[in-house]
Amino acid sequence: DIGDIVRGKDLFLGAPNKEKIKLEENLKKILDNIKNENAELSKLSLEKVREYRWAIHRKELWEALHAMHQKVLIILYINLMDLNFLVIGVDIIITVILLRNLDYVPQYLR
């Protein structure tokens, strides 16, 4: 769920301990910075700050995700070190997709 990812509840865990601890520490630093910059948030728990952050950024996130599907501006094929990359530029979002098999490229991408 995108909401859980934005809230920091659904993190990429990687190796069982090392990456998870690093991600949690970074997220805690970010949320602490948000709390320190806003006096109203300073009294809230980190969980409440996560929810607050999601609530204020939900609209912008959904608009950006919809822009990916609606406003494709550039399709550029690059061959780099024998790997084929398709770079799709979209308003403020750029998605890079690694293509391993270029025998079939969908019609809308040609």
Per-residue pLDDT reduced to its tens digit, 80-107: 444 444 444 444 444 444 444 444 445 5
Q: What percent of the chain has pLDDT over 90?
A: 0
Query: Strands across the sheet with 93-99, in order?
Result: 72-80, 83-90, 93-99
Reference 93, options 78, 71, 77; nearest CA is 71
pLDDT of residue 37 exceeding 80:
yes
Query: What pLDDT, on a 0 to 100 scale, did the predictor assign at position 42?
Result: 87
